Structure 1
């Protein structure tokens, strides 16, 4: 059966290039800095609590993560955190912002192959400057017909993006590693949701998979995407 697919949306972080791994490495530095004040499990819980609280203020991305680490450090030390610790947290965040972009396996091949026949839209959330930097360094920027850097991903986000850059969500496929941000809201918008699991999963990106929905698909990696799109199109 033909579904007349014309548009394919791609997530960026941990779908096309590594991202969460660098957050995990920085968190390990953070835990080591504060090991005299709290154990890693407690620090992880407090940091996640700060991140949840601060999303509405700082949004997604490295800068908000850095500010949440600083806030957590102040709280767990009863405002006694040494200035050197704050400085090290800032430097770790700055290093994340300078880190080179490492494409995930098959990312470039998948984007190149599908770009010949479909309209490609990058739909990513996070800090505008950082996402623009990563896209420029990735070498993939010229392969996309449109780029949407958004504050959050909701069904409305996908409706707007696929109406603006395609023929609507019912003729679009969204590909990403986050069940909560990439798959579920895209399906709720009327499109197809293709999940590509990543090595790491951020606690706040977890959601139940819509396993019984006819527009839900799972792949082991992007090497399977071209064949899947051909099947759905």
Structure 2
């Protein structure tokens, strides 16, 4: 029974050595000076017994293993380095993209602010123009209402608007002076302006509310007589009330 146990130990040792030997059969067949010997302990016998000299493992295989391990380590370190560089490149790319987006947002904000400032400046300029023009507009309105009253105060409302439209047509014609005052006071054109009656009505505010409304409508673009530049008591043109417009 002891011999059976010894045989099992020897068989185990031989199997183990065979796995490590990888192709070598005996110590004598190897030219390498280094070898590994595997011993087995017979626990039942209480002695260390040399059950079998295992097949040797050449030192070149150990060197190859060390070389492979070194190469694997180098490859691992290079891979880690590559990963780190890739992460760094991706981080730089992310930071660059964030900076680009931030710059675009800042540019948009600056453009919006500039546009807002320009709009405010333009609005302020228009307000100044309107404020400056307001007194003149009010004066033109009163003057136009006064001449309408003098020339057509006894005519239908449409006829009063038509007189105002004639004056506006002359201002816009390019043939007559370019302002309401200059058209009305042009020499030889409107009788009330030549006789002083117009100035009297204007100074006293003697025009009617109807004449004022007709003047406002004419200034706003109301025009029942087209491009007519004249009116009077003739017998041709567009007749409105007692006046003919042509």
Whether the TM-score (by the shorter chain) exceeds 0.5 is no
Question: Would you tell me which structure has more helix in proportion to its own residues?
Answer: 2
When normalised by structure 2's length, the TM-score is: 0.26
Q: Report the structure number with the largest CA radius of gyration.
A: 2
Question: Would you tell me which structure has more strand in proportion to its own residues?
Answer: 1
When normalised by structure 1's length, the TM-score is: 0.27
